[in-house]
Amino acid sequence: MPTTPDAPVASALTILTEEERLFQQSVGRFARERLAPHVRAMDEAGQFRDDLLREFFAMGLMGIDVPEEFGGQAGTFFQSILAIEEIAKVDPAASVIIDVQNTLVNNAIARWASDEQKKRYLPLLAATVTGAYALSEAQSGSDAFALATRARATSNGFSISGRKLWITNAAEAGVFLVFATVDPSAGYKGITCFLIERDTPGFRIGKKEDKLGIRASSTCELIFDDCLVPRASVMGEPGKGYRVAIETLNEGRIGIGAQMVGLAQGALDHSLRYAKDRKQFGKTIGEFQGVQFELAEMAVRVEAARLLVYNAARLRDAGQPFVTQAAMAKYYGSVIAEEVASKAVEIFGGVGFTRDYPVEKLYRDAKIGRIYEGTSNMQKAVIARALLDPAR
């Protein structure tokens, strides 16, 4: 797997601190040396290797901005974004595992959990336990709060019944953030977030989806059948789950933007190497202006998307408003990932359409970017509202 070429001109937003640069290089080296040899086999099997997941933990990639007191790396949100991008250059399926763990699960617990919950779960999530974020249901996609999963109060806690669909990391996860409604009449104000462990009675993992792309990342159904949990499993307050979801997903969208930028950069890297090696009519195809122009357009789009992602992440770390910028980063990152991966297949020609070369996988992996953690239309709605009503 080729290394990422140095950009000809460094932009202000892409300038990294020495610590960030070394971190980025370390993650990139791991991705090329340890991850790359297994990408094709994992894609075909539809399963992520246990040993690689253990290496993610050993490198600290599953607890990047978890505080040291809880066994984490005490890094920044921006470093999580760098890790997601670097891993996605080699395998977007692997990057989404790190993405969900850091930008959704760890982030939500760090902000909303009680001290007791933090002490219990953050050390596990930083060291050995994968987390999953369970919001989506059959009738609850873009309408995220149309939840049918019900949490009924009992003398000791809650009884949860219902089903969740399309839950990332579900096959590997030991801890789940589960959103259910305690009061359907209250609408979104009845939604509550629960921390539920895998071995809780009444809870089981259902069907694993057979997907078009990011196949090594597990996506499964969750089934709750009178799943009894104590009151201590509530994260935040009853009825405040909608706030947990909204605020966490805003940050998660920056992670998806980073995943898409990494994917697009990976496709561009493959295209550059192929353009230098492939010969037609007595010279490399990279010497033809038509191919040069395609590569130039790809590079411009990747850099523009990266700037949007980095800007949103920097704003988040600075404690500044970032919701609109996160929507822009997620929307545009997913658009250019699909476009650049498609162009990569064309540059490779006939072989690009085969599984003998890596770009067809990146093309398949790119499609999900426009769908999960908020469709492209939902991102455009967020952006439009901000434009029309800046004070909102």
The H or E element spanning position 192 is strand 191-197
Q: How far apart are CA 367 and CA 82, in angstroms?
A: 21
Q: How many CB atoms lie within 10 A of CB 55?
A: 14
Tell me if 222 sits within 8 A of 198, measured CB to CB.
no
The two tokens of residue 13 are: 């937003």
The H or E element spanning position 340 is helix 323-348
Q: How many CB atoms lie within 10 A of CB 142?
A: 12
For 342-356, b where at least 16 C-beta lie within 10 A, e where not — what string? bbbbebbeeebeeee
Nearest partner of 233 among 241, 242, 225, judged by Cα:
241
Beta bridge partners of 192: 180
Q: How far apart are CA 174 and CA 163, in angstroms?
A: 17
Q: Which of 85, 251, 338, 373 is labelled catalytic?
A: 373
Q: For this structure, is 360 an active site residue?
A: no
Q: How many CB atoms lie within 10 A of CB 87?
A: 28
**What are the catalytic residues?**
373
